[in-house]
Amino acid sequence: MTTQLLSASNPSDIALAAQLLRAGELVAIPTETVYGLAANALDAAAVAKIFAAKGRPQDNPLIVHVADAEQALPLVKAFPFTAQRLAEAFWPGPLTVILQRAEHIPDIVSAGLSTLALRVPAHPAAQALLRAAGITLAAPSANRSGSPSPTLASHALDDLNGKIAAVLDGGPCTVGVESTVLDLTSETPLLLRPGGIPAGQLEAVLGQKVEMSPAVTSALPMEGAAPSPGMKYRHYAPRAALTLVHGPLQDFIGYAEHENPDGLMAFDSDAIPEGWPVLRYGDGPEEQAKQLFARLREIDALGWQTAFVRCPSKEGLGLAVYNRLLRAAAFREVKV
């Protein structure tokens, strides 16, 4: 299969992408978070192609993308008041809500769970494509399973060229990390994955506390079911072995001098001694989120086998950056 590179600025390319999706093909599409690998969510055979193209484990559920909240209603058994409030505040945007799924949703979409993950993407190309296609789209990240998520069309093409019908180029992703995933199936909302909407903003809208799953900062048991993408496996990872390092800059440098990794990932403002190969990924959470996955891909491009990464703040969007780095490092972290 030859993978076509399409332009989101070309209406005829949007129409072609929509036609391919309706025909059961896979198309990598831009969203504000990361590029997604889209298929018709109600076509089980098309959704199965996602798992094959990515090499994705079958017990890892997918997120279904819809054009608006109205399109979400037939996909779930109920759309509670909490979901309505959050949709009004954050859709379109980087928030995924988990609700009880309707009976006609193919089991493969939810990895056999009784729930469904839903979101409305904010990227104008994703919105145009959803409306042109007239279908709902199951879309995990458009990468090889476990590797860093794609924030450029070229990343998706690098990983999936020849395995999917097309990549729709909509430019760089503006958020850079995946959506926040919030489980609304219980009385207390449960944060399963931190992302583009920090928990504090959710709590402000809901007027209640959001609980955080232990799996946000620790490994989910391999025998347990993953209620959300990005929870169960080593994820977002380059081939290199990463170590996430907590502590002041001078201690970080001292630890690196003692252990001698191939390179470092550090903040823009960090004064790293000359001689150290270093990739920088911003100073604040917003910039770090935008740059993170591209830098993790650069680690492999540079041929590093080992890398030490300065730990970001865990506040606000920083928690999402920390969560991705923790999984990319296979939970290997040290305090110095």
State the pLDDT at residue 60: 86
The residues, ordered by sequence, that sit 6+ positions from 187 with a Cβ below 8 Å of its Cβ are: none
Measured distance CA(46)–CA(40) in Å, rounded: 6
State the pLDDT at residue 169: 98
Burial of 219 (0-12, 13-18, 19+ CB in 10 A): middle
Measured distance CA(93)–CA(108) in Å, rounded: 25
State the pLDDT at residue 196: 96
Q: Which domain holds residue 308?
A: 241-335
Domain assignment of residue 223, yes or no: no
State the pLDDT at residue 235: 77
Structure tokens, 127: 């919105």
**Shared-domain flag, residues 211 and 275:** no
Question: Domain of 138: which CATH number?
Answer: 3.90.870.10
Determine if residue 176 is left, alpha or beta; phi over 0 gives left, psi from -120 to 50 gives alpha, anything else beta.
left
Eight-class DSSP state of 24: T
- Please list the ranges in the chain whose pLDDT falls under 50: none
Measured distance CA(39)–CA(47) in Å, rounded: 6
Residue of 281, 279, 283, 280 lying closest to 299 (CA atoms) = 279
Domain assignment of residue 228, yes or no: no
State the pLDDT at residue 229: 66
Pick the last residue of a domain from 167, 199, 216.
Answer: 216
Domain assignment of residue 281, yes or no: yes
**Shared-domain flag, residues 145 and 202:** yes
